[in-house]
Chain A
Amino acid sequence: MNKERLIQWLLLLIALSAISVLALITLFIFKEGLPIMVKIGATDFILGRRWSPGKGAFGILPMLMGSLWVTGGALLLGVPLGLAVAIFATDFAPPYLSTAIRPAIQLLAGIPSVIYGFIGLTVLVPWIRSHLGGPGLSVLAGAIILGIMILPNIISISEDAIRAVPKEYRDGALALGATHWQTIWMVVLPAARSGIIASIILGMGRAIGETMAVIMVVGNAVKVPHSILDPTRTLTSNIGIEMGYASGEHRQALFATGIVLFVLIMLLNTAASIISQRRGR
């Protein structure tokens, strides 16, 4: 075999590394977590309300609800804000600001999640405790911190989608007498819809998967929250907190929590990928 063909095969092998890692992750997470899930029964595990590892009770419904509450709150705050910033960057920013937005968003994305968690713990949690009541460590604190953390995802992908809308669309609307804002609201945003939805789904994935920042601000109590001021525990914080000392079935149950999280994220990724491919067509 000549050198060129050897290189080609070698490169193909290397190119398969990302898929191989993904396959290994799937294999090992399932290998560790599936036995306990089968033993308890998938529905009892996912819909079980009691989590007390000492007594062998493993139900993750409270954590699932916690993740949904916190993520829902994050989207409620992060999506409108992020979308508005994207519109600002494409349509309203004066030149001196439009060049500053991209690096700023990039920096926001680069700030470690422990820093966000720390700000939440030292600034946001005490503020909520003294102004809104409750323990401070709460769904609300998690939602606000995650809402900020998903901004970069929402802004950068929505901005690209808005910029990709053909100029003719805008010109047409303006020629019909629409104002600049009417053009954005009635023509540009609907045309950029699939990109914006993809950005929201990816932001959702980021929010569900975030661990350290959430651990630091949500209080981690195992119960279904009744108000946004109640503390809660998410799927990720369940793993992050207990992994340090878990063993045996307890550890398996944490890996099973990982399976639920992993499957959720894969579904979201696939959905985002399908939606942005449809846009490409």
Chain B
Amino acid sequence: MRVDPRTTQRIAKGLVWAAALLTLAILLFIIVYILWQGLPMVSVGFLTRNPTRMGRSGGIFPTIVGTIALAAVAVLIATPLGLGTAIYLTEYTRESAVTRAIRFGTECLAGVPSIIFGLFGFVFFVIYLRLGWSILSGGLTLACMILPTIVRASEEAIRAVPRPYREVSFALGATRWQMVTTAVLPSAVPGIVTGIVLGIGRSVGETAAVILTAGSSLRLPTSLFSPVRTMAVHFYILAREGISMEMAYGTGAMLIVTILLLNVVVNWLIGRLIARR
């Protein structure tokens, strides 16, 4: 029996619509579920107090500090490296075996699972460089992890800067570096910042790599060499060890709120990029 192509089309269209709605529903469910259960836990005290009894009560203040500290170290180290790589690839060289190797290396690094970054960070930063479980070890590990994200976003942003900007700059007698810093980079800022914000998002949500390199101390860190626990790690420990589901929901809600805010920033930046073109 031959099925009428129009019937097939109607069925296919229905399935495709169902798939899209299912995906959006899953996303919505995850966010609403966590916020619904968790937001009632969140209060000023929850955000500003230290946890007591292993996190069964009290707040999550040290984990907020830990999250910000790790993300800051990661971004401060990965941004110059990623941006430098992007500038080199776009402005300082032609396509060659070297650029292909750099691109391939960056792509591979993007695919490395976070647990492998955790193992690496543990033997290299924690043990070999003797940084111990610390903000520095965790931040450096995360920096390696978000490097590809920043390279890719910066490269795209720099490539999108129109050629005449460069030509005018050269015509005015600028050296290549002056051209890059005065003509190219200012126009590429929104794209570069997008990469940085995506990197922050990954750092905030990461658990496997952080737990092996930054430790899981609940004490407030005093220096770059203090061990810390991030919100994501705290959330994981609370839930997995069944310490307190209420506190886990509260911490999870804060994670979701952070990720939502970062996404709003990214979309606003991308909107600005598109508007400019």
Contact = CB atoms under 8 A, between A and B. Distances in A.
Main SS class of interface, B? helix
B147 A18 contact: yes
B245 to A, nearest CB: 8
Interface in A89-116: 89, 91-93, 97, 100-101, 103-108, 110-116
B145 to A, nearest CB: 9
Contacts of B232: 112, 114
A22 interface: yes
A110 B201 contact: yes
B107 A273 contact: yes
A19 interface: yes
Contact of A181 (B8, B89, B122, B204): B8
Given A18-B147, A216-B239, A85 B207 contact: no
A202 B111 contact: yes
Interface in B32-66: 33-34
A148 B26 contact: yes
Of the candidates A18, A180, A209, A211, the one having the most CB atoms from chain B within 10 angstroms of its own CB is A18
Contacts of B122: 243
A29 B119 contact: yes
Interface stretch (A8-16, A42-50, A127-135, A222-230): A8-16
Interface stretch (A68-76, A166-174, A263-271): A263-271
Interface string B195-215: 000100100111110011000
Contacts, number: 247
Contact of A92 (B13, B101, B144): B13
Nearest to A33: B119
A14 B124 CA distance: 20
Given A179-B9, A273-B104, A239 B177 contact: no
Nearest to B104: A273
Contact of B108 (A14, A22, A100): A22
Given A29-B119, A115-B34, A265-B113, A18 B20 contact: no
Given A28-B128, A119-B33, A258-B119, A15 B24 contact: no
B151 A111 contact: no
B124 A24 contact: yes
B27 A28 contact: no
B185 interface: no
A40 interface: no
B217 interface: no
A18 B113 contact: no
Interface string A118-129: 110111000000
B236 A3 contact: no
Contacts of A243: 118-119, 122, 212
A93 B20 contact: yes
Interface residues of A, number: 89
Contacts of A208: 113
A190 B262 CA distance: 37
Nearest to A8: B92
Contact of B259 (A8, A10, A100, A110): A110
A154 B99 CA distance: 27
B163 interface: no
Given A112-B206, A112-B255, A104 B81 contact: no
Given A18-B109, A266-B108, A211 B88 contact: no
B123 A269 contact: no
B115 interface: yes
B186 interface: no
B85 interface: yes
A206 B202 CA distance: 14
A92 to B, nearest CB: 6
Contacts of B31: 107, 111
Interface in B91-108: 92-93, 98, 101-102, 104-108
B252 interface: yes
A160 interface: no
Contacts of A108: 23, 26-27
Contact of A15 (B26, B89, B108, B207): B89
Of the candidates A106, A118, A211, A236, the one having the most CB atoms from chain B within 10 angstroms of its own CB is A118
Contacts of A91: 16
Nearest to A84: B19
A266 B205 CA distance: 24
Which 7 pairs between the two chains have the least Cβ-Cβ distance?
A: A209-B113, A112-B205, A84-B19, A14-B84, A19-B105, A181-B9, A11-B88
Interface of B: 5-6, 8-9, 12-13, 15-20, 22-24, 26-27, 30-31, 33-34, 80-81, 84-85, 87-89, 92-93, 98, 101-102, 104-109, 111-120, 122-124, 128, 144, 147-148, 151, 175-177, 198, 201, 204-208, 211-212, 232, 235-236, 239-240, 245, 248, 252, 255-256, 259-260, 262-263, 266-267
28 contacts: A7-B177, A21-B144, A25-B144, A28-B123, A28-B128, A32-B123, A84-B18, A85-B16, A92-B16, A100-B24, A105-B23, A106-B266, A110-B262, A112-B206, A113-B207, A114-B236, A115-B205, A118-B235, A119-B34, A178-B5, A211-B115, A212-B207, A212-B236, A239-B115, A255-B123, A261-B113, A261-B116, A268-B111
